[in-house]
Structure 1
Amino acid sequence: MSPDHFINRELSWIEFNNRVLDEATNEANPTLERLKFLAITASNLDEFFMVRVGGLQMQSRDRGISTDPAGMTADQQLAAISERVHRMVADQYACLQSIDNACKEAGIRRAVSQDLNEKQVRFLSQLFDKEISAILSPQAVVGEADFPLLANQTLNLCVELKPHDGEDVPLFAVIPLGRSTQRFINVQSDHSYLYILLEEVVTMFIDRFFPGETVAACVPFRITRNADMAVREDMAADLLVGMEEVLDERKTGGCVRLEIGDSVSPKTLEFLMQTLDVTEQDVYRASGPLELSAFFRQTDIKGFDHLRFDSQRPQISPEFEHFTSVLDSVAQRDVLLCHPFESFEPVVRLVEEAADDPDVLAIKQTLYRTSRNSPIVAALMRAAEAGKYVTVLVELKARFDEARNIHWARELEQAGVQVIFGVKGLKTHAKICVIVRREPQGIRRYIHFGTGNYNEMTARLYTDISFFTTDETLGGDASAFFNAITGYSQPQRFDKLEMAPIGLREKLLELIAGEIQRKKDGSDAHIHAKVNSLADPTLIQALYEASQAGVEVKLNIRGICCLRPGVPGLSENIEVVSIVDRYLEHSRIVHFHHGGDDIVFFSSADWMPRNLDRRVELLVPVESSHCRKRLLKILQSCLHDNVKGRRLQSDGSYQAIKPKQGKVHHSQQFLYAEACEAVQRQEDSQRTVFVPYWASDGGAI
């Protein structure tokens, strides 16, 4: 295919992050929520530079001349990324200034030294002498060999000292501010919530670190190290040890980005660039505080609830109201939940009940990303200690959660759990739990499939699908799945499930081809899908062919989309919408019209080469009519969002969607309202009704 048919993956991701920034600039959002969106954009950029830019820089150093599907070399991508992100950084700090102004009006102020009165300066002076100076340690730097090994993405100060008499070479010192030091320092004020940043306080009293010297300049800076490193599984005899070595390597990875205050002197900048071996392209000057991701902490200030979104408590699905046990409820019929509008609690309860139920014989589960104090992990350990057969696949290669997963793997093993460290050469990204229970009629399997992680914390922040079933065929497939990934058996063809990397892409291509053929035969045909990212060239080509055949293709793609919609003769029948809203869109749903016999799936997989070729993923059909209807309703709601939805243009830009005839549809609000209404209907149906006892019924008046 022509490179003109593809949008570059990295530039598409940057445009996604820009849509998050749009929410930070949107004054219709509450002020502290705007600050949260701004912090998210900074956190997103941190990971982007560590992984994507780090990987491209390695390609560039290796003198690779290969191009991506959009026809760009590594060097061309790095140049385009630098140009676009420099503009984004400028927009971030303009946004921060706007948010600061709104915060001041609401009584929250970030102070700088000149804003403080004598009493406040005295307080900070005492704090510096008693605490800060005792914690921090400057390090003189004479040459590169003296430069300290700075932790990735932590704040530092670079201090330039005036040369001694008779010398003309400036002296430099670096002060790492560390992760444990309090960044936001509250200052007593009569009229507002006032705080000042640690780097501002240290700069105020910087001379006290260097008695007898003259400080010429002091500027904050922050480095981002390359973290695009992986275990060579063909050479690592012990995967756990190999992952620990990768974590150590990240501490010393090369600098891929230097962030620095825009007040930096030419001498200081030259010194840092030479020492860190970065080019001007890698330097990002900031007109405000560095590490904007740290401002997450300021979005939870007490007493300012009016500056946040209204509270939305996840609803307990009425599907579980008739039963004291989740197992009993699922035994009656399939259940589909939409998080976070519906509570994740039933998923946790399912595992906890299984751990304590004497009739449960075995639990098998995948764990990709968990919370720090995971109740699910605790239940799995309790089940093993009670003598149940517990098998857990802990994915050690879940990027940036490796350390936590290593910890949990060891804890689980000590409790007697059979722990598998993923599949060699692949990441296991599928979300599945199987509970085997002895019942009067025989063995029954209870299965949970999901699009999100088994993490009760992120389940309140991401939109995801949970599906509970006792379907015998899916149960057989689920058992075969675990046999394939925990043993040496060759993966077998499933009856209903599809699994990457051995059949998921082929199934999607087969279903797309089916819609194309039906359209050629004169029947209605359409493909509707919701995924986080679309970058797989083979699937994109198939969708282009569907469009050329006249098949209606509607896609809800949150982030990366390398497909160009609306190109005459190529993709005029394809529409792509992205939603960025209060909750991170994370569910993946696929619908094929199939001649009116709707085929509906949800999946753990995005439509990217890494998901389809290098990960273990699942595509799960939903056949029970009430669950399928619900899933289709969720998908259609996302496709028709004209409040937070943005439509992708053929040039890679996004435009706001104007409601037609004033019909406004806000998907996340709609889905939460629907969850609340379902609970209300359940409560109304259970209200006590007073029935009069008439004489005609045989009683006295």
Structure 2
Amino acid sequence: MTIANFLDADFPPATELPEAEITGPKRFYNRELSWLGFNWRVLEEAENPRVPLLERLRFLSISATNLDEFYTVRVAGLRELVREGVTTPAADGLTPAEQLVLINDEARRLMAHQQDVFDILAGEMQDKGISLCMPDTLTDEDRAFLDRAFIEQVFPVLSPLAIDPAHPFPFIPNEGFSLALQLERKDERRKLMALLPIPQQIDRFIRLPAPEGVARFLPLEELLLEYIGWLFPGYRLRGSCAFRILRDSDLELEEEAEDLVREFETALKRRRRGEVVRMKITKDAPPALLEMIKREL
């Protein structure tokens, strides 16, 4: 029961705690799970109806960005301890491996709730005239506009890549977002795997023509899929998926380095090519594409 005027209320009766919860590791709360708890509170602001709608969307975005940073630094550090065979428990009694199991369960629950909150916000934004469009809802006017936008703004910064023995899988940087494609040649039915990195220097959402007071957006990845024939002439699209990776960005510095500036430069270069600690991929990705991505990463 919540006491509204707790300053004037009587003290509640004392609670007897077991000795283990007073002197043992149970008296501590795990640092990493505490951080996830904080991110849950950020996400709760996205559900708060008293917060303006677009601010709620911003809180959802902050929650997702926070989780990315958590994986690239904190989870990456725990993975390194497990890889080195460290089994010493932390102050809360959990070993690095045990912490990773608990983090995985809680992070999955958090991500599922983030998606639920986004679905709710998308519906509320739709009611306010702000909508995310899919290709099957585009009008002829929209497609004419997108033809110009693609040629003038998007096409010049694209780097479509074929994946075959002569063209190995490229390096994908931290937070790299890409489309994996299954293509088939129209005349020979010859298959081709390809990768299309989604450029970060242009907006993720393309704003479509709309009446005053209405805002319509098309995700950049959906635009690219609509123009695959322009990028790979003579091929038809057989399957695709979008995926995004996070790499180990934890900095490890030699405390007694002679040249601290050079030590930082080396650590930053090493961080760019850190191992993959997390990958997010679209649901129902073609099995062949999923296997290729997992194998190459």
- TM-score in same-fold range (> 0.5): yes
Aligned to 1:272: 293
Q: Secondary structure at the match of 1:214?
A: strand
Q: Which amino acid aligns with 1:174?
A: L
Any unmatched runs of 5+ in structure 1?
A: 277-701
Aligned to 1:188: 209
Q: Secondary structure at the match of 2:235?
A: coil
Give, in angstroms, the shift of residue 70 of structure 1.
2.1
Q: Which amino acid aligns with 1:175?
A: L
8 Å contact kept, 2:180–2:193: yes
8 Å contact kept, 2:247–2:277: yes
Aligned to 2:265: 244
Aligned to 2:198: 177
Are 1:38 and 2:71 counterparts? no
Instruction: Report the aligned-residue RMSD.
Output: 2.1
Aligned to 1:103: 125
Are 1:232 and 2:254 counterparts? yes
Greater per-residue strand proportion? 1
8 Å contact kept, 1:162–1:215: yes
- Equivalents in 2 of 1:120, 1:145: separation in Å? 36
User: What count of residue pairs does the alignment treat as equivalent?
Assistant: 273
8 Å contact kept, 1:144–1:275: no
Query: Relative contact order (alpha carbons < 8 A, sep ≥ 6): 1 or 2 greater?
Result: 2
8 Å contact kept, 1:65–1:74: yes
- Equivalents in 1 of 2:163, 2:285: separation in Å? 17
Give, in angstroms, the shift of residue 80 of structure 1.
1.5
Q: Which is higher, the Rg of structure 1 or of structure 2?
A: 1
Any unmatched runs of 5+ in structure 2?
A: 1-22
Aligned to 2:70: 48
Are 1:221 and 2:221 counterparts? no
Aligned to 2:13: none
Deviation readout 1:53-86 (Å, 9 max, x if unpaired): 1111111111221112222222221122111111
- Equivalents in 2 of 1:102, 1:187: separation in Å? 19
Q: Secondary structure at the match of 1:146?
A: coil
Aligned to 1:92: 114
Please identify, of 263-272 and 217-226, the stretch whose mean Cα deviation from structure 2 is larger: 263-272
Give, in angstroms, the shift of residue 154 of structure 1.
2.9
**What does residue range 73-222 of structure 1 map to in structure 2 within 5 Å?**
73-142=95-164, 146-162=168-184, 171-190=192-211, 192-222=214-244
Q: Residue 126 and residue 263 in structure 1: after superposition, are their counterparts in 2 closer, same or farther (change >3 A)?
A: farther
Deviation readout 1:367-403 (Å, 9 max, x if unpaired): xxxxxxxxxxxxxxxxxxxxxxxxxxxxxxxxxxxxx
Give, in angstroms, the shift of residue 144 of structure 1.
11
Q: Which amino acid aligns with 1:76?
A: E
- Equivalents in 2 of 1:259, 1:204: separation in Å? 22
- Equivalents in 2 of 1:215, 1:148: separation in Å? 21
Q: Which amino acid aligns with 1:210?
A: F
TM-score, length basis structure 1: 0.37
Q: Residue 90 and residue 144 in structure 1: after superposition, are their counterparts in 2 closer, same or farther (change >3 A)?
A: farther
- Equivalents in 2 of 1:7, 1:44: separation in Å? 20
Q: Which amino acid aligns with 1:171?
A: L
- Equivalents in 1 of 2:73, 2:219: separation in Å? 29
- Equivalents in 2 of 1:224, 1:145: separation in Å? 23
Aligned to 1:478: none
- Equivalents in 1 of 2:97, 2:185: separation in Å? 39
Give, in angstroms, the shift of residue 45 of structure 1.
0.6
Q: Secondary structure at the match of 1:151?
A: coil
Q: Secondary structure at the match of 1:148?
A: coil
Alignment equivalent of 2:83, drawn from 61, 64, 86:
61
Aligned to 2:50: 28
Q: Which amino acid aligns with 2:123?
A: N
